[in-house]
Amino acid sequence: MNTGKENVPAVEAKGARIPLLGLGTWDLRGRVCARVVEQALRLGYRHIDTAEMYDNEREVGEGFRASGVKRSDVFITTKIWPARFAPRELERAARDCLARLGLSEVDLLLLHWPNPQVPLAETLGALANVKREGLACNIGVSNFTVALIEQALQISKEPIVCNQIECHPFLDQSKVIAACRRHGMAVVAYSPIARGNARNDKVLARIGAAHGKTAAQACLRFLVQQNIVVIPRTSKVERLKENAAIFDFALSKNEMAEISALAHPGGRVVDWSFSGQPKWD
């Protein structure tokens, strides 16, 4: 399956070709979600990210079909919630996701968060089966620590192509990123502008202005320049355009270092207080 047009910048990982820019759809609902997905695809986005937990897969599918873009040109990711990680339940969950999306397969199926209540070997075995049955072209994980990545790679019978993690300049994810790269996995950044916090940062604003760009664009550029996939979420068309305009400039080595220095211990913005949350690196 051809995943993404050749002229869309992408990351290659274990047979997957993941467009560097995607649309995150967390918290988008109903007609707004369908409209934003349609508009993003019409603007040239070729990567859409959703999840079972977002309760919007049906609208994501509607937006995709309304866009008129060929299925083979769009990379679609969804994620299974940890409560459905028992093997039979995971396979049922994958089929439920496809039914809501109105698709015969997704390009990438992820485990949304770790679940220590279900043995990882059982969950990954079921995930591999889902891929072998043709329901997902690729499989991956999300919110996995270095230790969990190492464990998963020893267990999985199918390639794990990525780890989707919270990733932005205010959070040091260097250990997890290094582990992914060591094993040829892609890094996909959710909340890449720290839920809007990047827009108010003076360093990012100054560096962006030097390139005729916004603080958010400088932030996204910082990530894609490291070959990290970004999936910013927005409900506004003007933001869709702004977030996409990050491939026509480059940050200098000094600018990259200055942005890297923004990381601080309290930088995480997504920290779930449930039993499946791992001890972060």
Q: Express each pLDDT in 216-243 by its tens digit.
A: 999 999 999 999 999 999 999 899 999 9
pLDDT at residue 277, rounded to an integer? 63
Of 5, 19, 6, nearest in space to 186 by CA: 19
Q: Report if pTM > 0.85.
A: yes
Ranges under pLDDT 50 in the chain:
1-6
Name the amino acid, one letter, at 83: A
The residue behind tokens 């707004």 is 32
Q: Which residue among 17, 20, 54, 167 is the active-site one?
A: 54
| Cα atoms in the Cβ-side hemisphere of radius 13 Å centred on 104 | 5
Of 244, 184, 192, 201, nearest in space to 222 by CA: 192
Helix (H, G, I), strand (E, B) or coil at 280: coil
For residues 259 and 169, is the Cβ–Cβ distance under 8 A? yes
Q: CA-to-CA distance for 269 and 159, rounded, in angstroms?
A: 29
Domain positions in the chain are: 10-260
Q: Please give the helix or strand (H or E) that residue 47 lies within, else none.
A: strand 47-49
pLDDT at residue 8, rounded to an integer? 73
The residue behind tokens 């997957």 is 16
Name the amino acid, one letter, at 124: L
45 is catalytic: no
Pick the CATH number of 10-260 from 3.20.20.100, 3.40.50.10330, 3.30.70.980, 3.40.47.10: 3.20.20.100
Q: Please give the helix or strand (H or E) that residue 10 lies within, else none.
A: strand 10-13
